[in-house]
């Protein structure tokens, strides 16, 4: 299965070595006013009288996990990179924190603590956060601490993937669908966790298609040694492809598992094989064994849409200064562009990494431009609708000879930024199709 990105996702050039160690990359209730209000003390996510969960005494239930490293002044947290197996880059960070086994099924203290830990670590990549399914079922009031924590941390909903964890009772289905509609309207990306081992009806994927499905760890533990569970996991991949969702394989521990998930077309993975347990965003390195060419299946779909190659975009407001863009590029070497968006997440311009850094490195470049608006050094964003076929997108990329390999910006029906597509990914796909080779 080809992935386009929150997760087709960040892609680099393939390598022929048997293993590589590569740096990781740098990409509510419905808001009633432009997103810029998120950064205002009185923005739409501010809750009067709300006290963040981390400032309260720890809950009496749920012993802390001793394997989680403590952040300097906050809760213990663990950071797990989500790795793009094609490029070897880190495209998101899954953050977990103490408190996940809270007092109630709707307790979001662990999610709030994870957001705080990510803020303290200055993690700039998109965040993957686990949230109890019961919290979504309970309604918007219970999710206010999550919205507030993200506002305080300067995070936009579009940069967050919420993984629903837990079982769903039949009578809760209507409330869950209503809650998911609200989260999507606010801009959050939704994932279903533990698929294949949780009490989550599969037709929910049709009624409320997720952005990502996460295969249950119980299935991954016995893959590929158990053919029946391997067949179940492969069926989930096919189902996800049918509903337009990406698939994340967690807890990858050995190369046999890695070969199996690659054979099914899974592109996103995380686990001890790829990064050490004490990995942090500052650590920045992962280890991705390169597959044997014969073991890599060839994509058989003809004319895929650009949405299959979608990667998370690193966005900044139009008011961002050039030094903010320098900081964003400096966090991760694999980030190829920064998209400047307006208050409604509509792309206004694009900053290419190579041209921008070359300009800033010139004589007096930093002194002259660091404190000035970044859009002065930006190019026009090349927009493509999410339904555009890959071949048409390549034709668009070739219209400007000076910017052939600039990232394409994918937008939805109302012009909001959904992510980016690397032209190299489109070329690679076309080159690998049987029709092209013939």
The CATH number of residue 181's host domain is 3.20.20.450
Q: Do 284 and 396 fall into the same domain? A: no
Final residue of a domain: which of 295, 322, 343?
295
Q: Do 28 and 136 fall into the same domain? A: yes
Q: Which residue has the tokens 């299935």?
A: 219
Percent of the residues in the chain that have a pLDDT greater than 70, as a whole number: 78
Q: What is the mean pLDDT of the chain?
A: 80
170-180: pLDDT as tens digits:
999 999 999 99
Final residue of a domain: which of 261, 295, 329?
295
Q: Using alpha carbons, list the distances in angstroms from residue 368 to 322, 332, 376.
A: 10, 24, 12
- Give the count of domains, the chain: 2
Instruction: Give a yes or no: residue 12 inside a domain.
Output: no
pLDDT of residue 98: 78
Sign of the CA dihedral with 235 first, then 236, 241, and 244 last: positive
Q: Which of 373, 392, 257 is nearest to 320 (CA)?
A: 373
335-360: pLDDT as tens digits:
899 999 999 899 999 999 999 988 88
Instruction: Give a yes or no: residue 35 inside a domain.
Output: yes
pLDDT of residue 398: 87
pLDDT band at 264 (very low <50, low <70, confident <90, very high): very high
pLDDT of residue 262: 92
Burial class (CB in 10 A: 0-12, 13-18, 19+), 172: middle
Q: Do 397 and 421 fall into the same domain? A: yes
Q: Do 274 and 331 fall into the same domain? A: no
189-195 vs 212-215, strand pairing mode: parallel
Q: Do 267 and 339 fall into the same domain? A: no
pLDDT of residue 25: 37
**What CATH number did the domain enclosing 331 receive?**
3.10.580.10
pLDDT band at 75 (very low <50, low <70, confident <90, very high): low
Q: Do 291 and 320 fall into the same domain? A: no
Q: How many other C-beta atoms lie within 10 A of the C-beta of residue 162? A: 26
Give residues with Cβ within 8 angstroms of 176, minimum separation 6. 133, 136, 137, 168, 204, 208
Instruction: Give a yes or no: residue 197 inside a domain.
Output: yes
Instruction: Give a yes or no: residue 11 inside a domain.
Output: no
Q: Could you list the residue range(s) of the whole structural domain that residue 350 is in?
A: 306-437
Instruction: Give a yes or no: residue 9 inside a domain.
Output: no
Instruction: Give a yes or no: residue 347 inside a domain.
Output: yes
Q: Do 126 and 270 fall into the same domain? A: yes
Is pLDDT at 329 greater than 60 in this prediction?
Answer: yes
285-289 vs 268-269, strand pairing mode: unpaired
128-145: pLDDT as tens digits:
999 999 999 998 888 999
Q: Do 261 and 379 fall into the same domain? A: no
CA gap 270, 286 in Å, rounded: 10
Instruction: Give a yes or no: residue 3 inside a domain.
Output: no
**Crossing angle of helices 390-397/423-432, nearest 10°?**
130
Instruction: Give a yes or no: residue 2 inside a domain.
Output: no
Final residue of a domain: which of 237, 271, 295?
295
Q: Which of 218, 208, 195 is nearest to 137 (CA)?
A: 208
Q: Using alpha carbons, list the distances in angstroms from residue 375 to 260, 322, 349, 436.
A: 45, 8, 7, 39
Token couple for 14: 């393939």
Q: Do 142 and 269 fall into the same domain? A: yes
Q: Do 148 and 282 fall into the same domain? A: yes
Q: Do 282 and 316 fall into the same domain? A: no
- Sheet containing strand 417-421, edge to edge, reads 383-385, 408-411, 417-421
Beta bridge partners of 409: 383, 420
Evaluate whether 54 touches 72 at the Cβ level (below 8 Å): no
pLDDT band at 99 (very low <50, low <70, confident <90, very high): low
Q: Do 145 and 261 fall into the same domain? A: yes
């Amino acid at each position: 299965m080809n992935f386009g990105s929150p997760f087709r996702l960040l892609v680099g050039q393939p390598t022929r070595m048997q293993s590589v160690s590569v740096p990781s990359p740098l990409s509510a209730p419905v808001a009633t006013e432009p997103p810029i209000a998120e950064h205002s003390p009185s923005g739409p996510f501010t809750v009067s009288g709300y006290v963040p969960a981390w400032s309260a005494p720890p809950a009496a239930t749920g012993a802390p996990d001793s394997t989680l490293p403590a952040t300097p002044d906050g809760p213990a947290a663990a950071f797990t990179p989500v790795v793009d197996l094609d490029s070897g880059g880190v495209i998101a960070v899954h953050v977990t924190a103490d408190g996940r086994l809270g007092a109630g099924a709707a307790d979001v203290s662990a999610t709030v603590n994870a957001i705080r830990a990510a803020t303290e670590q200055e993690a700039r990549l998109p965040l993957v956060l686990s949230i109890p399914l019961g919290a979504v079922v309970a309604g918007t009031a219970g999710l206010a601490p999550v919205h507030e924590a993200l506002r305080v941390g300067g995070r936009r909903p579009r940069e967050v993937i919420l993984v629903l964890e837990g079982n769903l009772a039949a009578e809760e289905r209507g409330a869950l669908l209503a809650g998911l509609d609200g989260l999507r309207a606010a801009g959050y990306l939704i994932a279903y966790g533990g698929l294949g081992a949780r009490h989550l009806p599969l037709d929910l994927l049709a009624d409320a298609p997720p952005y990502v499905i996460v295969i249950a760890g119980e299935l991954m533990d016995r893959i590929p040694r158990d053919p029946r569970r391997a067949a179940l996991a492969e069926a989930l991949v096919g189902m996800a492809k049918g509903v337009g969702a990406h698939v994340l394989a967690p807890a990858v521990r050995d190369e046999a598992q890695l070969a199996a998930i690659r054979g099914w077309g899974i592109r996103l993975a995380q686990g001890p094989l790829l990064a050490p347990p004490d990995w942090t965003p500052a650590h920045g390195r992962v280890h991705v064994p390169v597959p044997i060419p014969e073991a890599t299946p060839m994509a058989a779909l003809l004319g895929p849409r650009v949405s299959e190659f979608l990667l998370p975009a690193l966005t900044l407001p139009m008011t961002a200064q050039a030094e903010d863009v320098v900081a964003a590029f400096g966090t991760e070497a694999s980030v190829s562009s920064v998209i400047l968006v307006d208050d409604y997440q509509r792309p206004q311009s694009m900053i290419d990494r190579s041209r921008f850094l070359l300009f800033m490195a010139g004589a007096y470049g930093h002194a002259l431009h660091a404190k000035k608006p970044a859009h002065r050094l930006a190019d026009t964003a090349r927009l493509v609708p999410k339904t555009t076929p890959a071949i048409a997108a390549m034709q668009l990329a070739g219209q400007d000879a000076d910017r052939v390999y600039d990232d394409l910006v994918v937008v939805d029906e109302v012009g909001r930024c959904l992510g980016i597509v690397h032209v190299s990914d489109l070329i690679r796909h076309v080159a690998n199709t049987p029709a092209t080779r013939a």
